[in-house]
Structures are given as structure tokens and as C-alpha cells.
Chains A and B, each alone.
Chain A
């Protein structure tokens, strides 16, 4: 079966004051329909840039040097900004941001913001035969209220009339999940949506997401730095280090037998909640000056001379995971 989302060999660099920074070097991942893909990496590894590249919202000065982003059989990189806006964002790819407080516009009512999205991207938005104007808006409101109720937001009818700061953190995240689903997209990208929440709320949100994937028939790309979350939620896993996919495959397989030394080191540090990476000696090479060999080699306990010679190729590990390490080449 063709994956919903497939990223191949993506390379993105950004012009900075100090020179060209290679944020993404070689990222590849696949997300199958109806599954949940966890994308894991340290902060600064390029996770946000990956999301931005998929959505087509790269910061000024950033260029895609190489690679492909296939979504439902179309190459998103070939889309113009207007096409992305018209045909992809919200309507086909929903987005759940990291910090629900900062992501909502503080000076507009929640309803205004959500309806603004639906006005342009809801399934009936471009339907010339469907209801128009006030009637269509009414339909949108009804759908939103339904969604909010499903998300267990209290008082869903009045919620639309309130401002973001009048909700608690967990409620805001539920609002954003509802917003992501409002236009019935096939794919939802979630950017560390639980980081800002306390542990209990975090757990509730994860449960909710798990249910929604099945209920709404969506595929979910879940970006996080937290292996614990991945273990709880995801079907597949993609580990990114210094702008490269180093290991990808089914979650179960990788967690049981991590193949790449980086994945191993991560899991060794904090098998459950790998939120800090202090356990790995050395530091990530600067994106301004990537060494020629394996990017993890300077920190790798198993590094050999071969590792410094050139970028290691992808190989298949016994666990079934694709791994970027000379051991499996």
C-alpha cells in the first residue's frame, strides 16, 4: 500500500549570519494510512524544520536543496504557496501545535479563529451546491460544537464565544485538536502537543488521540523528543539525529532491539522518559560545519575509522528497522 506521507532524502539549509546551516541533511520517513508515526529527536535535530518543510512554511532564507515530500501520491514540494493553502493545509493536512496558549491568537474569540479556517477549508467550503453564507456558517458551528463535545471541552456551545486565555492548558489543547480535525483532513501532524502539559493531562490527551485516529480514520505524524510518549502512542518510529534519519521501523521492534548506536544510547539513558540526553558524551556537530563521516561518530562508543570516511549508507537491521550505520551496511 502506498504510504500517506513519504519523505525521501530531504535536505534543507538556511542562510545565517555565520554562513549556510544544513538543518536537514538526509531525512526519510513513511507514514502508512491509519497508523501513527512517532518522529523522535533531540531539540535542534531539525524536527521543526521537517514539519515546516512538509507544510511548505520554511523561514526566510531556507531552501530545500534536495529530496521529495510525497503526500497521497502528490509531490508537495512542487506545490506553489497558493496551491498548498488552497488544497492541502487544514483540508488535507491538519496541524496540532506544541504550545496551545501561544498558538491561539490571543485577541480573537476561539470560535472566530476556528471558523476562519473552516470558512476556507471545510469539505463544503468549495461545494457550489451546498449551503452558503449564514447557513454554511451555521453548519460549521454545529460541526465545531460536536467536535468540542467529543473532545470533552466543557460547555462546547459557549466555548466558541470565549477567548483563548479563558481556558485551561488541557482544554486549549483539546480545542486545537478539534481545530485540526474540523476540516476532516486525512493526515494530522502533531508537534510535541503534550510537552506543555502536566503528566495527567498529557496522558488523557494521548488516549484521546489514539481514539481519534481510529474514529476519524486519520493518519498521525507525532513529533516528540519523548520515547515514553512514543511507546505509549505510536505504531512506527523514525529517529532523527543532526538532520538525518538514523533509524526507522516499527516501534515495537526498535524498542525491543535498538540497532543504531544513537538509539541505543538514548534508550540506555532513559528507557522510559528519555527527556534529557545528558547521558551521551560529546555534542551534536554544528549544522554550519558537518563532518564528512557519520555525524554520530564523534560521540559513538563503537566508532571505527570507516565511520569517518563518508556518510554511512542505509541498511537493514535484524529487527527489521532501516538503520544508517556502517554496522548494517
Chain B
């Protein structure tokens, strides 16, 4: 009996489903008339809430790039930091005093002009709330050190020199105090109000009635945006954010035209089907988002270098990248995105080599490392890719005699567990995305022992030489002076093999073919709507 016949007979009633799936793949489906020519239906995820000073993650980047503006902004691919609200800035040679000069004539959504006082308010608010985006600033900036020199000049006086300061400036949105202040309750800086409302100057204005957390968000064009709309004669006038939870729904919605774009995490296995359709295609973009298998360096056998090297040689990097990810990622053997500065040219990572892994295994055993101990690898259950990687790792480890168990877990538990070395799992899997474009975002916060207790530093790696190098690089201003410091640190870290660095991501986004003019940048990942035009 030939294969397809068997399938058809056995599948019985389900053939209907298969047949439909087949026609969908063939692209003979009707187009839903869900969207009109000026409404863009976006499948990007929504942040936990709308306050850019409370939340700072990839979905927030996508939201705030449209609703708010920043002093400087990352644009293009590879990312460049360009003047935005500010037209220029100066910095003293010691790197302590920064002055930003605002453009004139900037208007908020309520029509009021933006002044340096508003920038001061925004930074003070961000520091006072002390939430996610404040992480880069809390230690180096006091609220009173942000001042307005004149209506268009803001001055920042840092406590200590901090090179990533400028790189982190685009993470702070400028908010409108005149809209927030009337809604302040018991000194909360308008926190609960701004969580569901907008008070910005961005290209699009939030429609509060069209917002339900994580479900939908409606925005409409702000015609008076300071950059104007001359560059885009036919902009998107209404932006409807409709995040879809299930991959299958997401793909179907893209294929029937009820979504203009998906988020950036399309599984590689969906690419062919989408590209075969008449109305949509998959856009591939390199970003700075690295995939890491963490090892808890305080727990035996991971406190042994040979044991760690054994594990590092037992992961099928290219099999994972080529077969499971369909080649949509680059092998990145460094503790940093391979497209960022600071990586030593001579560095060589580890390869998949079970023979070498066995040798290291023997060496580790000889040094008394308990290689027979069953170890656990925690994955984020809801993330299929991490689960597959873990299973792949497991079947290879089994071949060299290591008993590894995959444990499903969730992000909030994992980050909580990572707060202490003894609760941190033996191994776990996560990505590090671009919060700001600087080595500090990756190697700096991952391997400087002062960050122990945060999930980024959950390898609990401690090397005084590396600490010194990273701290020096943090307070050195010029990039050309910092680069060798990072290179040296990375060399030492890689020699110690504290974690298993797997790949740097390629983002896959499904787009309707009517979407034109999209501009991609690793920060925001193509979600900035002001550039987009809808065809037809």
C-alpha cells in the first residue's frame, strides 16, 4: 500500500481537514475583507500595559515607537542611534555631564508644545517609579540631577561615568505631564492611569476606549507629529493591534488577510506555506537576540570546567539551526550577538563533537565531578523552540552517558528561582534580546558578578579578572577604548565556558503583500508604523 493511500484510509473523517489544509497551502482561499486601505491590522504582541516607564520589553518597544518619542532613536539595520526629539547632544570628556538640545515646535497629542521641562519630568518619573526601563539608570542618575537648562536644553549629571548611558537613552519615552498630572492618585505619578492611556507625542495616538490589556489596542494617526508626514503621502491612518496567541490562528489570519503582519516569532516550519500563498510572505531580518543554555556554575558538576566543556561539545548546534530552525539563525558561539562590536576576531567557539565531549567527560570524572548525577534542564513550556532544543540536547547527552531530564517551567518561576544560586536550576534556556545596543546589555550584565541574583547573570560565573575588565569597560567612554576591554573579557569568559551559546536570531515576520515601506531595526523590529504605506 502506498503512503498517501494509507493515510487517506486511516485518517477517515479527518481527510476533510487534510484536504482543507491542502487547499490553504495551495493558496486558493478567499480573502477576508477585514481591513481597508488605511487600517493596518498588526499582529505584534502587546506589552503588559501601556506605560513606557513601567514596562520595557520587545512588545513595549513596538508600541512606544508609535505612541511616544525619544530623545534619540535607533534606526536601520544594523542599528544606528540617530537624533529624534533632540537635534544634538554634548558630553563632557569625563562622561559625567550630558546636554541634549530639543528641536523646536514639537507638539504632544493634546497640542501642547514639548519643552525641556517635560523631558525632565519624564526622566524623573521613570526614576521615581524605578521599574523595568530604569534598570540602566538607577545607579548612575539621581532625579535631581536631571535639569532643564533652558526651554530646549536638558542636562544630565551622572554620579559615575557610564558608557552605556547614551545607548540607553532611546529606551526612555518622553511623556506629557499636563495629561498625566490631573490623573495622579496619592503620588503614584499617574501610574495606574497611564497604564491604560496615552500621553505622548508619537506618530500615533492611543484610543483609550480601544484598549484591553493584551487583547487589543487601537491607535490613530497624529497628523501634527513633529517629523511631519511629507515622507509618506499615504500613511496608515488607523493602527489596530490584534495580537494572536496561537500560531495556527496567526498563520491563518495572515493567509486570509485579516492580519497585515504577524509578530516576529514565526516558526521556521511555517515559512514555506506562507511564501506559497498569494497574499503574504515571510520577511527575514537579522536581529540581536541570542539563545543561551545556562549552566549553574555553583552546582556540581557544572563547577568543573571539563564538565562544562563536555556539555558545550554535546549540543548539536548546526542540526538545531539547520533542521529545526530551517537555517533561519546564525551560529553564534559568543556570549554576545555576533553582529555587535566587542567580539575578539580570534575567538573560536565550541563545536558539536561527541568524541571530544566524551574526552572532557572522562577528564571531569577523573577530577571527581559527579557526571552521573541526573541533571535538570528547565525550559519555558510555552516556547516550543526551547522545548525542542532541550529534547535534542537530551538525546545526545544520553549517548555519552549523561542523564538529563527536561523540566517544563514558566518564565516568572524561572526568574524567581534564578535569584539565588541554590534555587537556580542546573540548566535553563532563554534568550537575551536588545534592551539597548551595547555590549553591556549582554556580556556586561551576564558575567559581571555584581549582577548575581538577576536572571541575566544566572550562571553565577565569577572571575575577578573578568569583573575588572567589564567594570572598566563600563566607565570608559570611547568605543575604541572599550572594545579591547570587552574582547579581552570575552576571551576569558569563553575559555571558562560558563554557558552554552547557541545562536543569534533571525526574526521571521509574516507580512501581507500590500505592506510597503517597512523599515527594520533590531530595536522595535519593524513595528514603527510611520514608514508604512498600504498598497491598494
Classify A-B as touching or not with yes or no (CB < 8 A). Answer: no
B residues at A contact (CB < 8 Å): none
